[in-house]
Structure 1
């Protein structure tokens, strides 16, 4: 039984033996269910399918582990207000057997991730994503935390420029810098902060493989209140050119928001490309595709 490949420096070792032991100690009612790793390109959690209906999420990093309680509160709060399924938390595990952090058991959500520029029904998916974003933005913000991404782009300026520079010869750094400056120059958001998912990337979106319709959105660790421009990244990350045009009409927002949204997509993509090259081909390829769309 081989351990899944580690992705980050100092990531704890995790395998089926560890997870089975933690379940035996803490959730004996589930300990005898079949357990197997889930093939996933996710970067923050390792997934283990538990029986037919459950999934164990094991954080890979301290940041992902710190998100566990807040994410569970968030999905419980938002689930009744959203038009598609979101993760249903069923149990929170404690550190044990050498594993240092909290972990969680969720209801398994079926579906496949959208396949970049090979979407089955781009226009319909675009409408579905827009409906999700609009419903999220209408949810009651009282007492909600700030989103991981959701404030001004300005604090990311130095790091984004440095990362663009490290991609010299890989991307058009002049075009990337110009797009970034345009996003910084866009008028700031002056409305009330709204609920954001803040990480609408392909790995966090599930679609029906037969129809291409949106069935679920997962991984709410970045969610919270902020500038609605952040969730416009779905236009480049999740959708193709056809879908992006439909999404823009369906989701709304003014040109200033779209300029900031392009900036968010750019800063996320350059950091992902720089970090995940040689570590995670799916994440690096997705980031390169996004940058190609933004700069092309």
Structure 2
């Protein structure tokens, strides 16, 4: 990170919280939506980079105090809530225990530790899902209707992505949409609260035992199809892990559920391509198209 950007963030902390002394600052992570700084080795300050990121953070500011009593794993407890000079919110909270798992760390886990993590993660998913939907709605959590979203996505894909695809890939993408739209069971679900971004880089684990210690980044919280919770788990952790997780979560008809979730993954890749098109980012376009190609070979 450039010194000027770091100075912008630290100045916002000083301006909002003059009694907070900054002795040490380092970059903890950065994504499309926000930047996270580790301050004084014991605090995390998160700064949205755009309006959408600020809206997501506002959702967390409202929901996490309500959700915290329901969750066994540690989640962010915002001690500091401020506004940046650009009008976006930012927050500070005590550093959670554990380290980010990430995909590489997950793959390196021995079987017994993977199974233990699966059991803990299944419990976390159940806890989030058990949160009262009416309370979440009152708190402003948005509802996400996959069928409606994917219907609109299909139209846009035909207009903007199909011209980039060869005939074989077009046929594959069409078959994926057809598989989703023609199966009536895929639209039969009881809406529930979901985290909606449970990729491994949002799990914190104990570095020695690999036990789950925390969950972060609740900005995508939504009320939706419970199966949508497994999208990034399948994409990042694979079929075997997801199958076991579904079983530990008490799900039935696991093969059918995996097929449905795999369709969510395809649609997510297509949405990523569209993001690239809309932002003129050729790298994102190519990355999304490459993922579709990998799916076809699998």
TM-score where L is the length of structure 2: 0.79
Q: Which residue of 1 aligns with 2:239?
A: 241
Confirm whether residue 83 of structure 1 aligns to residue 72 of structure 2. Answer: yes
Match of 1:123 among 94, 99, 115: 115
Change in 2 beyond 3 A, CA 1:127/1:232: same
In 2: Cα distance, 1:239 partner to 1:147 partner: 27
CA contact (8 A) 1:152 1:188 kept: no
Confirm whether residue 194 of structure 1 aligns to residue 208 of structure 2. Answer: no
Please list every run of 5 or more consecutive structure 1 residues that lacks an aligned counterpart in the other structure: 4-13
- When Rg is computed on C-alpha atoms for both structures, the one with the higher figure is 2
Q: Which residue of 1 aligns with 2:59?
A: 70
Report the CA distance between 1:270 and its aligned residue.
Answer: 2.6
Q: Which residue of 1 aligns with 2:145?
A: 151
Deviations, residues 103-129 of structure 1 (Å, cap 9, x unaligned):
111222231232257241433333222
Change in 2 beyond 3 A, CA 1:92/1:156: same
Alignment of 1:43-62 (within 5 A): 43-62=32-51
Confirm whether residue 217 of structure 1 aligns to residue 215 of structure 2. Answer: yes
Q: Which residue of 2 aligns with 1:16?
A: 6
Report the CA distance between 1:197 and its aligned residue.
Answer: 0.6
Confirm whether residue 140 of structure 1 aligns to residue 96 of structure 2. Answer: no
In 2: Cα distance, 1:272 partner to 1:173 partner: 17
Q: Which residue of 2 aligns with 1:8?
A: none
Q: Which residue of 2 aligns with 1:25?
A: 15
- Structure of greater relative contact order (alpha carbons < 8 Å, 6+ residues apart): 1
Q: Which residue of 2 aligns with 1:270?
A: 270
Change in 2 beyond 3 A, CA 1:215/1:172: farther
In 1: Cα distance, 2:10 partner to 2:66 partner: 30
Q: Which residue of 1 aligns with 2:2?
A: 2
Alignment of 1:28-39 (within 5 A): 28-38=18-28
Report the 3-state secondary structure (helix = DSSP H, G, I; strand = E; otherwise coil) of the residue aligned with 1:15. Answer: helix
Report the CA distance between 1:291 and its aligned residue.
Answer: 7.3
Deviations, residues 141-197 of structure 1 (Å, cap 9, x unaligned):
23213755731323333435346536636x944333312321222324444321111
Please list every run of 5 or more consecutive structure 2 residues that lacks an aligned counterpart in the other structure: none
Q: Which residue of 2 aligns with 1:174?
A: 171
Report the CA distance between 1:207 and its aligned residue.
Answer: 2.9
TM-score where L is the length of structure 1: 0.80
Which is further off, 199-208 or 47-56? 199-208
CA contact (8 A) 1:68 1:103 kept: yes
Report the CA distance between 1:290 and its aligned residue.
Answer: 8.5
In 2: Cα distance, 1:48 partner to 1:120 partner: 28
Which is further off, 81-90 or 200-209? 200-209
| Larger helix share, 1 or 2 | 2
Q: How many residues align?
A: 280
CA contact (8 A) 1:154 1:184 kept: no
The RMSD of aligned alpha carbons is 3.2
